[in-house]
Amino acid sequence: MSEKAHVASGDDHGHGHGHGDASPFIQHHYDDAQHQFDSGKFGIWLFLAQEVLFFSALFVAYVLYRYHHPEIYAYANKYLDVKMGAINTAVLIFSSLTAAWAVRCAQLNQKKGLILCIAVTLGCACTFLVVKYFEYTHKVHEHILFGRYFDPCVSSGGNSLLTKNNECPGAKGTVEWDYSTAKPIAGCLSAMAIDVDPRERGIQADCEVFETSGSIQKDKDGKEVWVEKSRKPITNRCFDAVFGDPVWGGGDDLSSPATETGKDKRPNDAFPCWNPSLQPAVCKDGWFFSWNCTGPLCKALSGGEGPFDTLQKCKDARSGKEGALKGEGTPWVSECTAGHGAGIVVEYGDHALRSSSTTRIKAECKGPPPPPVVPDPLADKPQPLELGQKAVTSKRALTHHENIVLESHGPPPEHTGMFFTIYFAMTGLHGVHVLFGVFVFIWLLIRAVKGHFTPDYFGPVDFAALYWHIVDLIWIFLFPLLYLIH
């Protein structure tokens, strides 16, 4: 829109031209108000162009990593709160309207309307930051952070996980982690050594789990050791959300489809309760062997050893274990097998933090029984089949959605922390721009109250609105890319 031209007159600078009755904020080195406005407009467009280039590098990183690791995005997407993202999207879209309306009020010299529009835009910006604060604090609380700090307390489907620091709200695991060596000191078990029925999906563990109370003290050599003072048994096993009703609507029978009403529900657990948990980032995969011991001399009836980095290390340890068991009873030691490490997680049903310096979880698990003696494979085997009994039970293939739901209850895929590196880089940088916009609109509000903006001089309002539109536009891209696309 055209502004009033300067009225030619002498000025204090002796240039033979002035601004007459125009706004006193029209600088003397511009020919008129339109000249100043056009110059400012050109400058803000140059600034916004480099902002687009700045964010485009992050968008390229997003696209490349998503192309090469789609499983990470399918899993990590469920950690994000779509409702909070949608609220922020609606808030920013509305704030763009009020920012544009503020420009119109300044052009028409509507002071009250200008003040109101700037104030509403400022309020929307603060609302965005408050929502983002709650979203970020929840992730910090659950250790859902970027890079090597990604140590989630729960899976994206809501199951409690083993963690390295073992300081999760309302849950505690058996793992003791050594950050100096980046390895677990204790608490990791062989999944195959505690799975009493490998034919069933999941880990069918039979464990005695205890919550122990004590303190860390120094022994005579000055080494810190855990001194147990008391222990409390935890007898209840938690509902298994991976292989139970929340996904399929009925145990392991994949022929019964999941229902929308029961898919995300879990029965009322009797807290505290325990469950085995697979978390490859904590309990490393490797080579394991399991063993059983029968007889009155056995110190323990069963157990497992591992993980070992190489097959040879496993075989050496297996030979030593087999020799040690011969003096205790009748031993059976399995062959070395590549497998998963597992731990035990106790859920308390609250949000309390239990320090590892005063509370720890211990578990003693039984292993699978020794395999039966294999009969002659050439001998005839009777296979009675009663009337109406099915020889083979057909299983329904899982849908894509069911596979994603099932995977979300398990541990995070490798390098999931990179997703949150990109997430915090993009949303954090965008949040910094929103915070800068808050300061800009506070400055504009103060000047609007003082009556600085007129139809001759409204450039700062227009430039701030353009900046705000770009900030909103970037979020409109971030919201579906991060929150909606699985």
Q: Is 55 left (phi over 0), alpha (psi -120 to 50) or beta?
A: alpha
C-alpha 63/C-alpha 292 separation (Å) is 51
Instruction: Say whether both 358 and 243 belong to one domain.
Output: yes
Q: Is there a contact between 304 and 193 (Cβ–Cβ < 8 Å)?
A: yes
pLDDT on residue 246: 37
Q: Phi and psi (nearest 5°) for 20?
A: 55, -125
Element (H, E) at 308: strand 302-308
Q: Are residues 334 and 344 in the same domain?
A: no
Q: Is 214 exposed, middle or buried (0-12, 13-18, 19+ CB in 10 A)?
A: middle
pLDDT (tens digit per residue) in 12-44: 444 444 555 566 766 666 667 677 777 878 888
> Is 477 within the bounds of a domain?
yes
Residue 72 reports pLDDT greater than 60: yes
Q: What's the predicted TM-score (pTM) here?
A: 0.78
Examine residue 432 and state whether it is found in any structural domain, yes or no: yes
Rounded Cα–Cα distance for residues 365 and 254 (Å): 29
Residue 6 has pLDDT above 50, yes or no: no
> Is the per-residue pLDDT at 326 higher than 60?
yes
pLDDT, one tens digit per residue, over 242-269 is: 555 433 333 444 334 333 334 444 445 5
Task: Mark whether 326 and 257 lie in a shared domain.
Answer: no
What confidence score (pLDDT) does residue 13 get?
42
**Domain end among 405, 424, 457:** 405
* Residue 378: per-residue pLDDT: 65
pLDDT at position 297 over 90:
no
Query: Do 278 and 298 sit in the same domain of this protein?
Result: no
**pLDDT at 443 > cutoff 70:** yes
Whether the Cβ atoms of residue 330 and residue 297 lie closer than 8 Å to each other: no
Residue 236 lies inside a defined structural domain of this protein: yes
Residue 6 in domain: no
What's the pLDDT band for 126 if we cut at 50, 70, 90?
very high
Residue pLDDT, tens place only, 397-407 = 777 777 777 78
Assigned token pair, 219: 């022994």
Asked if 150 contacts 254 with a C-beta cutoff of 8 angstroms, the reply is no
Predicted pLDDT at 381 = 61
Whether residue 108 is found in the same domain as residue 252: no
Number of domains in the chain: 3
Mean pLDDT of 95-121: 95
Q: Identify the weakest region by mean pLDDT among 99-113, 312-326, 371-385, 466-480.
A: 371-385
pLDDT for 239: 77
User: Per-residue pLDDT tens for 341-359?
Assistant: 889 999 998 888 888 889 9
Please give the pLDDT value at position 178. 87
**270 pLDDT above the threshold of 50:** yes
346, 363 Cβ separation under 8 angstroms: no
The CA distance from 33 to 39, in Å, is 10
Q: Tens digits of per-residue pLDDT, 139-185?
A: 999 999 998 899 999 998 888 899 999 989 999 999 998 888 888 88
Quickly list H helices, 309-397.
Answer: 311-325
Predicted pLDDT of residue 228: 86
Residues 263 and 230 occupy one common structural domain = yes
Quick check: is 324 in a domain?
yes
Q: Please tell me which residue, 176 or 378, carries the higher pLDDT value.
A: 176
Residues 234 and 359 in one domain: yes
Do 169 and 91 lie in one domain? The reply is: no
Residues 87 and 182 in one domain: no
What is the CATH classification number for the domain harbouring 61?
A: 1.20.120.80
Q: Is the dihedral of CA 41, 43, 46, 51 positive or negative?
A: negative
Over the stretch 186-209, which tens digit does the pLDDT of each residue have? Answer: 888 888 888 887 777 778 888 889
pLDDT at 30: 62
Residue 112 lies in a domain: yes
Residues 200 and 269 in one domain: yes
Token representation of residue 269? 């657990």
User: CA 63 from chain center: how many Å?
Assistant: 19
Q: Given this model, what pLDDT does residue 213 score? A: 92
Looking at every residue in the chain, the average pLDDT score rounds to 82
Residue 216: enclosing H or E segment and its boundaries?
A: strand 206-218
Percent of the chain at pLDDT above 90?
40
pLDDT at residue 327 is higher than 60: yes
C-alpha to C-alpha distances, 211 to 164, 170, 177, 208, 232, nearest whole angstrom: 18, 13, 18, 10, 5
CA distance 163 to 171: 10
Question: What is the DSSP code string of 53-83?
Answer: HHHHHHHHHHHHHHHH-HHHHHHHGGGS-HH
Among 11, 16, 99, residue whose Cα is nearest residue 434: 99
- In sequence order, the β-bridge partners of residue 172 are 346
Same domain, 333 and 258: no
Note whether residue 4 is domain-resident.
no
In the predicted structure, residue 303 carries a pLDDT above the cut 80: no
Residue 19 lies inside a defined structural domain of this protein:
no
Same domain, 109 and 46: yes
Domain ranges, residue 323: 288-305+314-338
- Which carries the bigger pLDDT value, residue 295 or residue 46? 46
